[in-house]
Copies of this chain bind each other. A is one copy, B any other.
């Protein structure tokens, strides 16, 4: 039963389990106490901090353990922004950050009365106070120049992930860090997806990560704040972890997190090569095996173990369900928005197809034959889903009139695109199809379909109900 969703959460690494069990007996007491049980707990905590700091590439006194990666992000952003309140309240983020970053930035922006602003194309524009979202290219990466131009005199903090959690694209963190350094703006790097593979090779100011992403236990995040970075912890005073995160330390889990990070790093070089080849294989084979697929994310500058593709005319939830029935656990769209009806903000920012989206993220040690079996199963699963939805198998060539209107109101992704594909052959080359839709995903997926199909996306207009998307047949 292959589990291919390590980007959501990794199974507990054997070293983590061992360390956790060993420290349950030694690590339950309060490390602030002076009696032997407290001293033992303190020793474990100190040793874990040293090990984690070494793996992160910082000093032990620069690193605290938080209850989760999300909390590390929230605390890091609020503390760093507050530390620079006199400079200003403007924040810069990439448009494809994890939701914890975007939500923390939005919360600060809202508290300050500033407006969030995003733009999927064109240079980042500045909002008064608030948050500037730097757009990404079709591969999911920010341009260092665009990022640099978003930095302002009143920018309190810049945030950039080391690699994207949905499509695996690595960000140009080192170049962005240089630009931030030059502008005197601290840079927070969310390294949640990459820390198991290696340290972030850049001049970051703050770094966050999450242990359960690398095979550590749940309940442990990391927040590193370089000496000299102005930092003012927010929220009620608490004496634990240098006052940077509140609550009793979870020492057995912290010990397990640090031990497994070391263990995972020891395997990282070899596994990176092996899994990269497996992912290259998936990237090459999926478009050969499944028609109408778009593999997204940077093919080279990417995490070794992660690949994402989208299948036209397929509903992601159904696809996941069918893959689960076939024994494969994968995820779709943004991990944090799978319960909503809006498409992933990452895919939207990239301007790529979001329907039928599948993210495959391979655990360490994934055997080759599991990947082969996935490639065997996938085509049948996709075509069964398409068949059930009535997706077009081939485009008909009959020309009927110069324009057609398709009413897809009230129909959810991927139906609007399926209806479009069914009738595009019914208009002559140069004719148009107008799709009426009130599904938010259509705004992303109809232009993406046009690009994949070599048709012209003319644009959208507000309609009496929903939106009218106009497509011109070119081929």
B218 near A251: Cβ-Cβ < 8 Å: yes
Knowing A329-B36, A329-B37, A330-B35, the reply to whether A247 touches B68 (Cβ < 8 A) is: yes
Report the stretch among A178-186, A233-241, A445-453 that lies at the interface. Answer: A233-241
A236 near B5: Cβ-Cβ < 8 Å: no
B35 near A70: Cβ-Cβ < 8 Å: no
Interface presence of A118 (CB below 8 A): no
A236 near B9: Cβ-Cβ < 8 Å: no
> Could you name 8 residue pairs across A and B whose Cβ atoms are closer than 8 Å?
A9-B29, A32-B338, A34-B320, A37-B329, A71-B246, A74-B246, A107-B237, A217-B252
Interface presence of A219 (CB below 8 A): yes
0/1 interface trace, chain A 6-17, chain B, CB 8 Å (1 if under): 001111100001
| Contact residues on A (Cβ < 8 Å of other chain), bracket | 35 or more
Interface presence of A277 (CB below 8 A): no
Nearest CB of chain B from residue A73's CB, rounded to whole Å: 8
Knowing A32-B339, A33-B338, the reply to whether A104 touches B236 (Cβ < 8 A) is: yes
Interface presence of A271 (CB below 8 A): no
A103 near B238: Cβ-Cβ < 8 Å: yes
A107 near B9: Cβ-Cβ < 8 Å: no
Contacts of A221 in B (CB 8 A): 247
A246 near B30: Cβ-Cβ < 8 Å: no
- Which of chain A's residues 1-44 have a Cβ closer than 8 Å to chain B? 1, 3, 5, 8-12, 17, 20-21, 24-25, 28-30, 32-38
Knowing A29-B9, A68-B246, the reply to whether A100 touches B238 (Cβ < 8 A) is: yes
Interface presence of A117 (CB below 8 A): no
Contacts of A403 in B (CB 8 A): none
0/1 interface trace, chain A 51-95, chain B, CB 8 Å (1 if under): 000000000000000011111001000000000000000000000
State the 8 A-B residue pairs at the shortest beta-carbon distance, nearest first. Answer: A68-B247, A67-B67, A35-B329, A219-B250, A103-B236, A70-B247, A218-B250, A219-B219
B237 near A36: Cβ-Cβ < 8 Å: no
Contacts of A103 in B (CB 8 A): 236-238
Interface presence of A143 (CB below 8 A): no
Nearest CB of chain B from residue A6's CB, rounded to whole Å: 10
A70 to B217, CA, bound (A): 21
